[in-house]
Amino acid sequence: MSDSVSEHRPPDAADAAATLRCERVVREYTRGSDSFFSRGSDAPTVRALDGVSISVSTGEFVAIAGPSGSGKSTLLHLLAALDTPTRGDVRIAGTDVRSLSNRGRTKLRRDTIGIVFQHFHLLPSLSARGNVALPLIERGVSKRDRRARAEELLERVGLGDRAGHKPGELSGGEQQRVAIARALVSDPAVLIADEPTGELDTETGQRVLDYIEQTATERAVVVATHDEHVIERADRVVRLRDGHVVSDG
């Protein structure tokens, strides 16, 4: 198992090989609350992750597997800079996540990370094109360039002819491909996906998996999954149980 994720300072040689690095990460929650564990509190706590160390390099497609409650979603949230650890280090593209303010983590996500949610999170009032282009608005990209980039990504996921359709007019597989295109529109160094095939039939799931696998040549890709098809196609599988890494390979 690799003892390893990465500050917004120039990465050293060891960091350069790992786009994502977790070292001895512990994540605790106050029982019955989603709030960050307070070290001075006597309230009972739940340890969702306990001493987790992993690394993921650019060009790797890594699956995070394990039963429900094993810590997959918690680890994914840390790797996506949606959360911070109670103890230990999380580094993303050379940036120490714990050193960042909330605003800093938001900027890191915007600049570095694409996230594909299980339930798509598409805006129903926008077309597929509009949903894909949305992350580019914060980056100050012109309307013309946003449109061109969104249409380019939709072509890449096989939805060029559906660019003007709203989510309600698309199948589940098509909506998931729109979500993947949106996650990739800013050309992130990291792609994080939570059960991307979980609600899709086998054929559609395989098609979605094809797109994720293709993009892994250019970035670090981490997918949390129960799907054996995803596990079979990943370069590595990190298996969790009760908040511990039980295998990595």
Delimit the domains of the chain by residue range: 61-81+100-248
Q: How many helices (H) and strands (E) does the chain have?
A: 8, 10
Looking at residue 8, its pLDDT comes to 31
Q: Is the pLDDT of residue 216 over 70?
A: yes
72 confidence band (pLDDT: 50, 70, 90): very high
Mean pLDDT of 207-227: 90
Query: DSSP state, 120?
Result: -
Looking at residue 107, its pLDDT comes to 93
Helix (H, G, I), strand (E, B) or coil at 23: strand
63 confidence band (pLDDT: 50, 70, 90): very high
Q: Lowest mean pLDDT: which of 8-12, 105-109, 230-234?
A: 8-12
Strands 87-92 and 20-30: antiparallel
**How many whole angstroms separate alpha carbon 118 and alpha carbon 121?**
8
Mean pLDDT of 42-68: 91
Looking at residue 3, its pLDDT comes to 37
Looking at residue 40, its pLDDT comes to 52
Please provide residue 84's backbone torsions phi and psi, each rounded to the nearest 5 degrees. Answer: -125, 150
Looking at residue 1, its pLDDT comes to 37
Contact 99, 150 (CB under 8 A): no
Query: DSSP state, 37?
Result: P
Q: Is the pLDDT of residue 129 over 60?
A: yes
42 confidence band (pLDDT: 50, 70, 90): low
Which distant-in-sequence residues (6+ apart) come within 8 Å of 73 by Cβ? Answer: 194, 224
Which distant-in-sequence residues (6+ apart) come within 8 Å of 148 by Cβ? Answer: none
Q: What is the pLDDT of residues 187-197, one digit of tens each?
A: 999 999 998 88
Q: Which CATH class is domain 61-81+100-248?
A: alpha beta
Class of residue 9 by CB neighbours under 10 A (exposed 0-12, middle 13-18, buried 19+): exposed
Mean pLDDT of 79-95: 95
